[in-house]
Amino acid sequence: MIILVTGASSGIGYESAILLAKKGHKVYGAARRVERMEALKEYGVVPLSLDVTSEDSMQACVADILAVEGRIDVLVNNAGYGYFGAIENVTMAEARRQLEVNVFGLARLTQLVLPSMREHGSGRIVNVSSVAGRVVLPFGGWYHVSKYSVEALSDALRVELKPFGIDVVLIEPGGIGTDWGIIAADHLEESCKDTPYAASAEKEARLMRFAYSGKYLARPTCVSRAIGKAVTARHPRHRYHPGTGSRFLLWLHAILPVRWWDALMRLAVKA
């Protein structure tokens, strides 16, 4: 199969590109920092430049693959980032950028690959969402908005595309030991500094750094394995839940009354 993996310069995208290439697929790894994907070449992965906030970049990336291969069988929408901060403090410019990268970039790339998939009567869109697309934590508002949007888009796409032989699969990881959490913690402290939210934000940032800098979270390879299953399964699940705490958080959120959940969240960030 011909596979395009976005956000392939690090973490989940990087590991997924390697795993899929080892399975014998032709993998194109795409990211803004092409130099960070040089090592992928030894696995047969082809690095491509891609900025999911640039229409020209997205069009060029898809066109380059189609010019060589004539088709794209699988799109793994993995590119994304997390910016944490109180809703009151996060600038609207940053909020828009969060949605531009995590939602609109994903949606536009999907639009660009669908004509080829539909022409060939098959294809698969694998969207890397998060447990954050179904459970909300304090100070993660705009990130959660982006991931809830990915969930909604995917559910709509799954029904729309089924008649054309195209599957849509969601990956909803829990805690994964990458730099994502450290970066998000830095953003959280920065955005809440010298505001009424500073003390609570600092506590949450400490908890995030503790979790993401230790050995408590699953490794990116557990997500890449789930992506591998989503790509190769004859009848893939609609959702996969790899990573630390994913299923537990979803279960807890489902059974607890809203007041209890809110109280638990307040307790977690109480300064």
Query: Nearest 5°: CA angle at 89, between 87 and 92?
Result: 75
The dihedral region occupied by 176, where left means phi > 0, alpha psi between -120 and 50, and beta the remainder, is beta
Q: Which of 83, 143, 197, 212 is catalytic?
A: 143
| Spatial distance between the Cα atoms of 69 and 185, rounded to a whole number of angstroms | 41
In order of their start, the domains of the chain are 2-269 (3.40.50.720)
What does each of the 271 residues of the chain score in pLDDT, given as a tens digit?
999 999 999 889 999 999 999 999 999 999 999 999 999 999 999 999 999 999 999 999 999 999 999 999 999 999 998 889 999 999 999 999 999 999 999 999 999 999 999 999 999 999 999 888 999 989 999 999 999 999 999 999 999 999 999 999 999 998 777 777 788 888 898 888 889 989 888 888 888 888 787 777 778 888 999 999 999 999 999 999 987 777 888 888 889 899 998 888 888 777 6
User: Which distant-in-sequence residues (6+ apart) come within 8 Å of 224 by Cβ?
Assistant: 12, 15, 16, 18, 19
143 is catalytic: yes
* pLDDT on residue 93: 95
Closest CA to 233 of 184, 154, 169: 169
